[in-house]
A and B are shown apart, each in its own frame.
Chain A
Amino acid sequence: MLRKPQYIALGIVALAGLIFLSLPDAAASRVKLALTGLFLPLFGLTESTQSVARRAGNAVVPRDDLVRELEQLRAEKQKLEFSIAQAQEAARENDRLRRQAGFPARSPWKLKPARVIARDPANWWRTVFIDVGSKDGVRVDMPVITPEGLAGRVSTVGATRSQVVLLGDQNCRVAARVEETKENGVVMPYAADPAIVTLTYLSRGSPVKPGQSIVTSGLELKPGNQVLTSGLGGVFPAGIRIGEIVDVRSVGFGLYQEARLKLAVNLNALDQVWVVAQ
């Protein structure tokens, strides 16, 4: 049988659970960020160890390989300089035309590099922690990207750390557009596969029959079509790559269509990301 001190211990747990579960979201986020501070020494140690291992690995790379890689990078840099010059010219032209048409000027993105320091231990959520916070100018709802495409958005911000909710999580829905057909939809999670998301609420096509291509707004929606952020909703800027269509089907008794997308970013291998300050 349970004795009196044991009842007290159980009561303390129940009380603590109730108190923490009933905290308002903002307070709970602050407590969570404070608790993650307990792990900072360990993250620092991990970073130092990785840095030492990387330096040790660099020390044994043959000089010939380094010289070859340097030559490749120089050639690539020259190509990129030409591309940048072209892009800058196009941007200038775009600005000029926007001014003439009376459109507001587009502000350039400010990219803040960040490193993924922790992942959500619960298997049913898809969030990560990054090592930048409000001190670095990070704010809630800022998009997080990689060179391959969109990764997610900032959900909670601490002074030196932030939580990012990734694509495919219940709490990350993105307004998206199919590049080829200009069809708009919403990216939602797809529970069966973490590398896939669903693009839904695409406008209704003609009834699907075996062998017949699906038609939306007079344009075919095909596997391999690229999907980008549409900019609707104001959270994600337009034009960030999300993924490509795998297949399309008619849902909601034919009211609208749904496409499965293969994400452009491998979210399981996220290491270095960029926070977009618009």
Chain B
Amino acid sequence: MNRLETISTLLAAWLAVAFEVSFNGFRNWFGAQVSLLPALMVYVALSSSLSSVALLAICGGLMLDSFSANPLGVTTVALALAGTLLHYKRDLVLRDQTYAQVMTGLLASALVPASVVLALIFSHQPVPLTGRLLGQWLVMALGGAVATPLAFRLFAQLGRWFSYQPLSESQYRATREIKRTKF
């Protein structure tokens, strides 16, 4: 991942958090807010280094927790956990397949809130485990599963806009041309 990609990932994390704190549509329609950071983490974990995973986990997690009543840093640890797991197994994931993107997005989007809730249960601010929370968890997992292929497409498009594209090689080479003469 080059510097441009790192900056664009952090910018995407900033926008994702801004979207989550200011857009109420999902809350009103489905009763739960969908988190976009796990989807972003899937993209970074499958296509970048562990340093980028760490950077996204720290910046994204802290930004998200700053607007929340969660203890500061708990989302950082959850995102880092999901990112590290995916990064460690990235050779086994067909990252260009939409199906694989959806499934890894589902896994990460289920794992991150589950880890946060698990951490909160053992903290001084326990969250009551209810049927409503389970429903919200499912909405978050499904929302993240849908968002992950979109994140891959967004970054692929950005790559096409801002990176040098390889020139398509022609089969014709002037040096290999057979010069026709009299004989």
Contacts and interface: CB of A to CB of B under 8 A. Distances in A.
Interface of A: 2, 5-6, 9-10, 12-14, 16-21, 23, 28, 31-36, 38-39, 42-43, 46, 117-125, 127, 129, 155, 163, 165, 169-171, 189, 191-194, 268
Most chain A CB inside 10 Å of its own CB: which residue of B14, B67, B88, B136: B67
Interface of B: 14, 17-18, 20-22, 24, 27-28, 31-33, 35, 49-51, 53-54, 57-58, 62-74, 76-77, 80, 84, 88, 113, 116-117, 120, 125, 127-128, 130-133, 136, 140
Main secondary structure, interface of B, reads: helix
B133 A31 contact: no
A32 B84 CA distance: 25
Contacts of A32: 65-67, 72
Most chain A CB inside 10 Å of its own CB: which residue of B21, B64, B71: B21
Given A19-B73, A32-B65, 13 more contacts: A12-B58, A17-B73, A20-B73, A21-B72, A28-B71, A35-B62, A35-B63, A39-B14, A119-B67, A124-B133, A170-B127, A191-B130, A268-B24
A195 B129 CA distance: 18
B67 A129 contact: yes
Contacts of A20: 62, 65, 71-73, 76
Nearest to B18: A42
A131 to B, nearest CB: 13
Contacts of A39: 14, 17-18, 21, 63
A34 B65 CA distance: 12
20 contacts: A5-B51, A9-B53, A10-B50, A13-B58, A13-B76, A14-B80, A17-B76, A20-B71, A32-B65, A119-B21, A121-B35, A122-B69, A123-B136, A123-B140, A125-B68, A127-B68, A171-B69, A191-B132, A192-B131, A192-B132
A42 B13 CA distance: 13
Nearest to A270: B24
Contacts of A12: 54, 58
Most chain B CB inside 10 Å of its own CB: which residue of A9, A10, A32: A9
B50 A6 contact: yes
Contact of B117 (A33, A120, A124, A127): A124
> Which 6 pairs across A and B sit closest by C-beta, in order of nearness?
A20-B73, A35-B66, A118-B21, A125-B69, A121-B20, A191-B130
A27 B125 CA distance: 17
A36 B51 CA distance: 24
B53 A124 contact: no
Given A10-B50, A129-B67, A192-B131, A17 B80 contact: yes
Contact of B84 (A10, A17, A35, A42): A10
Contact of A121 (B67, B74, B132): B67
Contact of B70 (A122, A169, A192): A122
B68 A121 contact: yes
A219 B151 CA distance: 60
Given A21-B74, A119-B24, A13 B80 contact: yes
Given A46-B22, A170-B125, A123 B74 contact: no
A43 B18 CA distance: 9
A21 B71 contact: yes
A173 B116 CA distance: 24
B46 to A, nearest CB: 15
A16 B51 CA distance: 14
